[in-house]
Every structure is written in C-alpha cells, then in structure tokens.
Structure 1
Amino acid sequence: MPGFVLRPPVLRRSNVPVVTDPAEAVRRPELGVLSAMAHGETEQGATIASAVLPAIEGLDDERARLYYDLLYNSLNEAARRALEAMMKGYEYQSDFAKKYVAQGRDEGRIEGRVEEAVRALLSVLRARGIAVPDAARERIVAQKDPERLERWIEKAVTAAALADVLDDPS
C-alpha cells in the first residue's frame, strides 16, 4: 500500500508493572511472568519470583513448564539463588512438578546403577588379571545400558579374555 508505514508499539521495561503481590500473580500469571522478564535482572528479581512461583504451580503442565523456564531464565544470579533456596525442602504440590521430580530421581537411579556396574566390571576384570586397553575401557565407560553391563559382569567372572566379555551378540 503506498504510503503505509508500520509503527509497532514497543513495550518498554518502564511500562511493565513490577508484580510482587502473590494474589496479583495468581489473578494474572502472564503479567507476573512478563514482570519477571522485564525486571528479573533488577534487585527486585527475587521478590518477583517469590510472588510468581506459586501462581505458576496452578497452571496446566504445558504453560507451567514454559513459565517456569521463562521465570528462571529472566532472573539475575542472586535471584536465581534465592529462588533455588526457596525451593530447597519444598514439597511440590502440582502434578507437573511431581512428575519431573520423579523423572529426575528415576534417571539418577539408572545413572547410579550404570556407574556401579562399570566399576564392578572393571574390578572383576582387574581381579581376574584381564588387561583392559584404553579403547575397551572407553567402550565400557560409555555403555549406558545397565542390563548389558550386568551381562558383561557375569561373563567376566569366567572369561579367559576381554573379547569373551565384550563380544556380545545381543
């Protein structure tokens, strides 16, 4: 269109209210998140986060996940530490948070099981006097399947050579 000039409105930080009232954040969680995005780097970041965090918990999983991420990434380092300190010992109320805490615990258990199995396998091989070259050690350490590591441990107990342990057709 001839002569058309687009002038999009610009929302400046000064136009975004600082939301520090938890009741306001619950009424308008998007405004609370926007407040954190605009003012989270200021000295008010921790106060904003403490007001907005409870409001996010009542939202559906998809929005809550997005808003938590936006909130956390909008804060200055001191506010992030304050938010993390607020969360220590906190018992999550939302199914959203409980699901991700449980997922993290499960992943941690599997990682711990894998690390334990790697140590056990290397110990059995060492006790049996079976040399483990660097490439084989890297392969063992890189293995993330706990069941495969357990099979390798079982084989290592009676194996005559490393190839008898790691040559796994399954």
Structure 2
Amino acid sequence: MTSVPHPAIEVRELSIAIRDEQGNERLMVSDISFRIAAGETLALVGESGCGKSLTAMSLLHLLPQPQVRLHSGEIILAGQAVHRLGKKQFRKLRSHRIGVIFQDPMTALNPVQPIGKQIDEVLRLHRPELARRARRDRCLELLKDVGLPAPEARLIAYPHQLSGGMRQRVMIAMA
C-alpha cells in the first residue's frame, strides 16, 4: 500500500475580513479552497479587487493586521497547520518553505540599496550560518540561477538601473 503525499499547500475554506474605522468587518475573500501538489502551478485569476493579493498575502502571514485578518479557514503547508503559528515561528518557514514574488518588483525592492545588499539581507535573515563571503558567493549563484546577465555587475546596481524583467528575476532570486 502506497501513501499519498501531502499537497505542498492546501487552503481550506479561507475567509479574510477587513475592519473599517468604525470596527465593522466585511468579508473580502469568502470560503476559498485549493490544493497545490509539489511541482504544480496554480493561477489565481480574477478582476481587480477580487482578493487575489489578499489570498496570497494570507498564505505568507503578511496581512496588515489588525485591519485585515484571517477570519476563518485553514492553511496547511506540507501537512502542518501554519495558520496557527505565531509570527516568529512562521518567519522560519518563509523563504525556506514558502515565498511570494509580487507582480511589481519596484514596490518590493528598496530603491536606495544595491541589489546585492538586498539579497544579502534575505540571506542574513534566513541563513545566519553563512559568513559574509559565503553570502556574496550565494548572491552571485542565485543571480546566475535566474539567468541574470553579468551577475557581478548586478550586485552593485540599483533597481532603477535594471529592466522590469531583470527586477523580476532579482525578486525570484530573493524568494
């Protein structure tokens, strides 16, 4: 008898609420469910304002609380109920087990820091065992992995000096 592996991520009846200035809550996402197996791709498609970004942000514990919160439902990552984890516990999973690449990289990249410093910051946070030189080598490796031309030059470049596609690749490297 073979066991069926857990999906990479499963969302069960997820609802997200937004609270207005008077304290009234309104459901913005209601009872969404999906499963994604390892190696599969899922596209969330819908009109502007339908809750695609809220759904993605909820999977990463990035909802701007207390105004926006997970109202109900479950988020299961590789068999673990992550919707119950605290911020510190979930931070350990982010970048190691789950990540997001936002559509507009200019809103996610710091315009006054070079690309290399921004990738290094992620590595310092999520791979504290790496020494400075090892982090620089890893930054170069990541930029090469995503097919960014002249990765050494990109380490000292600022986001505005890259094309939109290059910025997107930097975001993929950071994720």
Task: Give the alignment's TM-score, normalised by structure 2.
Answer: 0.24
Task: Give the alignment's TM-score, normalised by structure 1.
Answer: 0.25
Q: Pick 1 or 2: higher relative contact order, CA cutoff 8 A, min separation 6.
A: 2
Q: Which has the higher strand share?
A: 2
